[in-house]
Amino acid sequence: MLFDFDGVLTTDPSGSFTTVRHVALATGLPERHVWEALAPYNEDLLLGRTTHAAVWPAVCARLGRELPLDLLTQAFDATPMNRAMLDLAASLRPKFSLGIVTDNKRDRIERLAALHALDALFSPIVVSADCGSGKSDRAIFDVALRGLGLPPTAVMFIDNTRRNLVAAEAIGMHTLHFDDARNDVPALAATLRMRFGITP
């Protein structure tokens, strides 16, 4: 079973949402200005073509403020984890192989994996920045399937964005859309049980 990260294992819909909110709160800058400073580099960060450390001086220049790079680490640490979903995953772990597939920045996921011991629960953790592919293409799912050692027809993928399910479905994976606004983890568990026979 594969889980998306933001919006599924966290309660914010995206990593950018979390980061922008934290930087704005810490600096008093409007969220819109923070996002406008980060947005030009977002795709390259997600696909591993650059790093936060490399673009941070340019981000600060766009903001007109010299901000410490450590502010990003603090923003990563402020990510609100979805404890109910993590508890569900932990209950399934004895019977199922679990992994993460996420469009994300490398340094952010490395930090959060260490902070929350995600490696103890999920393997593989496949990050777009590491494989140069996002969830709109099959390549990132091929990496995850190799890590699980399973064919696509034996794997479920859960994501909070419907368009991210298309490529997974096209290669034969089972998929479920998770409504992060409702965050109804018991309902998701019931769907897994009743439709797919997936129980702890």
Model confidence pLDDT, tens digit, residues 90-149? 999 999 999 999 999 999 999 999 999 999 999 999 999 999 999 999 999 999 999 999
How many C-beta neighbours within 10 Å does residue 26 have?
15
Q: What is the DSSP letter of 10?
A: B
**Which of 93, 116, 106 shows the shortest CA–CA distance to 9?**
116
- Say what the pLDDT of residue 75 is: 98
- Say what the pLDDT of residue 38 is: 98
CA 99 to CA 9: how far, in whole Å? 11
- Say what the pLDDT of residue 179 is: 98
- Determine the average pLDDT of the residues in 67-81: 97
Sign of CA dihedral 188, 113, 65, 40: negative
CA 4 to CA 58: how far, in whole Å? 30
- Determine the average pLDDT of the residues in 164-189: 98
- Say what the pLDDT of residue 40 is: 98
- Say what the pLDDT of residue 6 is: 98
- Say what the pLDDT of residue 111 is: 98
Peptide bond into 186 cis (omega under 30): no
- Say what the pLDDT of residue 150 is: 97
Q: Which distant-in-sequence residues (6+ apart) come within 8 Å of 195 by Cβ?
A: none
- Say what the pLDDT of residue 49 is: 98
CA 55 to CA 122: how far, in whole Å? 30
Q: Would you call 126 exposed, middle or buried from its count of C-beta atoms within 10 A (0-12, 13-18, 19+)?
A: buried
- Say what the pLDDT of residue 35 is: 98
Q: Would you call 109 exposed, middle or buried from its count of C-beta atoms within 10 A (0-12, 13-18, 19+)?
A: buried
Spatial strand order in the sheet of 125-127: 125-127, 99-102, 2-3, 156-159, 174-177
Question: What's the pTM value of the predicted model, to 2 decimals?
Answer: 0.96
**Contact between 129 and 45 (Cβ < 8 Å):** yes
Q: Say whether 40 sits in a helix, a strand or coil.
A: helix
